[in-house]
Amino acid sequence: MEFHHFAYPHKLSFREADRESRCLGCLDVINGPAYISEAGFGMHKVCAEMPPQIQKDAFHPHPLKFKLLDAIVCDACSRLSVSYICYRCMYCDFNIDFRCAKAIINDENEIEKRDDEDLQRTRTLHFSHPHQLTRCKVSPILTEFEEDFIEEIWTINKLKLNKLKCVACKWELQDTQAFMCLPCRFIIHESCMNDMPMQVQSSLFHPHHILHPRPFFNAGEVRCYACRSKVNGFSFYCNKCDVDLHVSCAKYRTRATKHSCHPHNLLQLGKSIIKRISCRACGRKNCNDSFFSCRKCDFNVHPKCIPLLSSFEHKRHLHPLMLVSPFAEDDSGDYYCDMCETERNPEIHVYYRAECNYIVLDKWQYKQKQME
């Protein structure tokens, strides 16, 4: 049984696959007989039988026509994904991914199962970007394997959606709710957008001026003053000094300390800010240790590499407290100093007593010294 599919240039025949392969339509693994090409690409029978055009008035009033390899935010399930085949309205901005199209054609209830209740399609404007943002979820369906697979069949258009990072916090987006401007590849976690201040006052990296939001696009390369890595599309900005910072870097919780090894104040920085920086004393980089850092002079040292007490005793605790690397005692996300109850950044070294699970900020070592 030979077959020509509208989305694939070569003949397909109905048979068992010779090697593991994935369906060009739904991207799931193919088991058993399916439509397979000579090159080994294939489609499930139900997927191959999907029409090139869908008209279901109850679902959408206009005809939806197939489109090859595109990144869309699906209007049925709100997921952002790259598909080999998706369907797009001929008259308005309405798109559905292949899986939802299949559900609409074959089983009208199925679509509800994929429809996240709290993920209604919303468009909104936010001061971080000049265009409308669409609420979406970055599809967990598209694994790296699937992305390679898509590139294998269609190498012209490299849409590295999985590499997209939130403009505010610099983290990759995995199955979290986000807002996106697809043409600009601008994407931001919903939580990062909601938590964003209108301005940042007294950021430790740039303490003397207020930082204001600066949306930009096509601005060439913009580097963050704090972490030195690229800023994509949005920063907090000082227009007096022409300084840009990532949102998360501008808000980074840290403290400044004075130490005899350097004439300026040193900031305590963790690995989300000091990636790929090497220690002035021991030369190591890519470790999980925190740093003491002077951004002006690019002076960076590990706490363990400068004369810093490896342990000290405090009158409010029975045992000596030991200097340890960045430390989170659990994954609660809330960390405090047991001496003064102030919140602490888990990326920064502390003094610690394991058997008492007692953790204190390093300032207690200096404070005690000053009092003596």
Q: Is 219 in the site for Zn ion (CB under 5 A)?
A: no
Q: Does 62 bind Zn ion (CB under 5 A)?
A: yes
- 359: tokens are 């953790």
**What residues numbered 260-289 form the site for Zn ion, per CB under 5 A?**
264, 279, 281-282
3-state helix, strand, coil in the chain (%, to 5): 15, 30, 55
Gap between the Cα atoms of 362 and 359, Å rounded: 9
| Member of 36, 82, 103, 169 binding Zn ion (CB under 5 A) | 169
Q: Which residue in 138, 224, 274, 324 binds Zn ion (CB under 5 A)?
A: 224
CB of 265 vs Zn ion, minimal distance in Å: 8
Identified binder of Zn ion from the candidate list 77, 249, 274, 321, rule CB under 5 A? 249
Alpha helix (H) ranges present in the chain?
Answer: 45-48, 98-106, 110-114, 144-153, 190-194, 247-250, 363-371
**Which long-range contacts (C-beta less than 8 Å, at least 24 apart) are formed by 308-314?**
308/259, 308/362, 308/365, 309/365, 311/351, 312/351, 312/364, 312/365, 312/368, 314/339, 314/360, 314/364, 314/368
Is 227 near Zn ion (CB under 5 A)?
yes
Contacts with Zn ion in 70-129 (CB under 5 A)?
89, 91-92, 94
Q: What is the token pair recorded at 312?
A: 């000290």
Residue type, 187: I
Closest approach, Cβ 240 to Zn ion, in A, equals 4
SS3 325: coil
CB of 342 to Zn ion, least distance (A): 24
Closer Cβ to Zn ion, 94 or 358, answer by number: 94
Q: Does 308 bind Zn ion (CB under 5 A)?
A: no
Contacts of 131-134 with C-beta under 8 Å, sequence gap 24+, read: 131/181, 131/183, 131/184, 131/186, 132/181, 133/179, 133/180, 133/181, 133/186, 133/188, 134/73, 134/179, 134/180, 134/181, 134/182
* Three-state secondary-structure class, residue 46: helix
| Residue 192 within binding range of Zn ion, rule CB under 5 A | yes
Give the shortest CB-176-to-Zn ion separation in angstroms: 8
Residue whose CB is less far from Zn ion, 227 or 361: 227
Q: Least separation, in Å, of the C-beta of 283 and Zn ion? A: 7
Which residues, other chains included, contact 99 with Cβ-Cβ below 8 Å and sequence gap of 6+?
26, 77, 114, 141
What is the phi/psi pair of residue 149, to 5°? -60, -45
When binding is defined by CB under 5 A, the residue of 65, 88, 131, 255 that contacts Zn ion is 131
Stretch that binds Zn ion, among 8-16, 292-300, 335-343, 349-357 (CB under 5 A): 292-300
Which range binds Zn ion by CB under 5 A, 6-14, 145-153, 219-227, 337-345?
A: 219-227
Q: Which is nearer to Zn ion, 160 or 264 (CB)?
A: 264
| Minimum CB distance to Zn ion, residue 313 (Å) | 25
By the criterion CB under 5 A, which residues form the site for Zn ion? 23, 25-26, 44, 47, 62, 89, 91-92, 94, 131, 166, 168-169, 181, 184, 189, 192, 209, 224, 226-227, 238, 240-241, 246, 249, 264, 279, 281-282, 294, 296-297, 302, 305
